[in-house]
Amino acid sequence: MEPAAKQKVIYITYLVAALDITWLFLQFSITPYLARRLGFDTIWFGYLQTTVGVIQLLGGPIYGRFADVFGARAALSVSCLASVVYFLLLAVADNTFMLFVHKLPAVFMHVLPGAQMVVADLSENEKRADALGKLGLCFGIGMIAGSSLGGTLSTRFGEKFAASFAAVGSFVSLLLVLNFIPKQTKIHTVPESNKKGSSNSVFNLGEITRLMKFPGVAKTFTVKIISGLPAGIFQVMFSIIAINFFQLKAEQNGYLMAYFGIVQMVIQGAVIGRLTSRFSESSLLMLSVGISSLVGLAQAMMTNVFHFCLIVIPMMFSLSVFNVITDSMLTKSVSPSDTGTMLGLCASVQSLLRTVGPTIGGFLYEAYGVPSFGYIQCIINAAVFSFLLNTGGRSQPNRP
């Protein structure tokens, strides 16, 4: 592809990602309040979140492999179509059973990893972290638009209308993918292992787990899971914290999420690119883990929503830098034809956190309260920071 054509595809991918995140955060303004109206307590809402985590944990690596084998257009089309079905089911969910059933299409809902694969495939190695960071800018835009729109639509027109609106929006995303995303975005359309005679099956788990054997991958992947666990638990439980601890209504919660989005937009759009051009990825990884430890300590001491708004700035900085840098390091560690599978595994980390997070988070919230999330984050990230400091960040070179 010509450079201009690559850039056009990347911009369309950014648009599709921003739209998908918009509908995702619109849903966040519906589900907690719908669940409470249907009689869910904190524990049952945790089960609902765990269901989503398990579903996406199973689907993430397979989706990444599917994207590597069948191409970007097919992968993103499946995700957008699944989103349409997901929101249509949410619109008709009027009992506990249907609220669980509507989560099933989430097994295919991986637009962001699909978009990351396209951007990673079409960007140069030295600019990859910055390009992936711009996807975080799209995330911020979607967070602002979705949170504000979700709170407004559900308050004024009802939850069913808001969910139907998201279904229509997901269909628009599907049309964009079908018309503007090329079938293949990779330099090598056949993974290296397949050239050696390995199975081309999407469900070949050996081809997925094979990536863990590349230099530096296992270490970075382990850090991504352990360091990300406390923040993942807090994020999963935040809707409950907003309602019960901060006593926020749906519209107020939407404004708070929009504030998150603004902070993330500034960090992803204006800060990360400058940092990656001046500092090594291993240094930035250590910085993000260290700040995350301090953020945990601050969360343990907060008592109201104003305190939390102050904490959001370093919290979003550490999360943004950590996710972008680890994704960039991992995709550089494998061959270009395997970036989809690797990003699928990265997505499965978030799904893993959503799987164990609600159960752990529900227990901690009921037994020890909100400060327990902060103390755990502080201790775990301090330990990870010490580990990175002692091992020198990253000792293995990138894969050529």
User: Over its length of 400 residues, how does the chain's per-residue pLDDT go in tens digits?
Assistant: 677 888 889 899 999 999 999 998 888 778 877 887 888 776 777 778 778 778 887 887 788 788 878 888 899 999 999 999 999 998 888 888 888 888 889 888 888 888 888 888 887 777 777 787 788 778 878 878 887 788 788 888 888 898 899 999 999 999 999 999 888 877 654 444 444 444 555 555 666 667 777 787 888 888 988 998 888 888 878 877 888 888 887 677 777 877 887 887 888 778 887 888 888 888 999 999 999 999 999 999 988 888 998 999 999 999 989 988 888 888 888 777 777 778 777 777 777 777 777 778 888 888 888 899 999 999 999 999 999 988 865 544 444 4
Q: Which residue has the tokens 């911020």?
A: 140
Q: What is residue 154's predicted lDDT score, i.e. its pLDDT?
A: 82
Q: What length does the chain have?
A: 400
Q: What is residue 396's predicted lDDT score, i.e. its pLDDT?
A: 45
Q: What is residue 303's predicted lDDT score, i.e. its pLDDT?
A: 85
Q: What is residue 254's predicted lDDT score, i.e. its pLDDT?
A: 72
3-state DSSP helix/strand/coil % of the chain, to nearest 5: 85, 0, 15
Q: Does residue 253 contact residue 239 with C-beta atoms inside 8 Å?
A: yes
DSSP codes of every residue in 95-116: SHHHHHHTTGGGGG--HHHHHH
Q: How far apart are CA 41 and CA 192, in angstroms?
A: 49
Which ranges constitute the DSSP H helices of 157-212?
159-180, 192-195, 205-209
Q: How far apart are CA 67 and CA 268, in angstroms?
A: 25
Total-model pTM: 0.71
Q: Does residue 162 contact residue 93 with C-beta atoms inside 8 Å?
A: no
Cβ neighbourhood burial of 76 (10 Å; 0-12, 13-18, 19+)? buried
DSSP letter (8 states) at residue 190: S
Q: What is residue 52's predicted lDDT score, i.e. its pLDDT?
A: 79
Q: What is residue 205's predicted lDDT score, i.e. its pLDDT?
A: 63
Q: How far apart are CA 361 and CA 372, in angstroms?
A: 9
Q: Does residue 118 contact residue 5 with C-beta atoms inside 8 Å?
A: no
Q: Does residue 385 contact residue 286 with C-beta atoms inside 8 Å?
A: yes
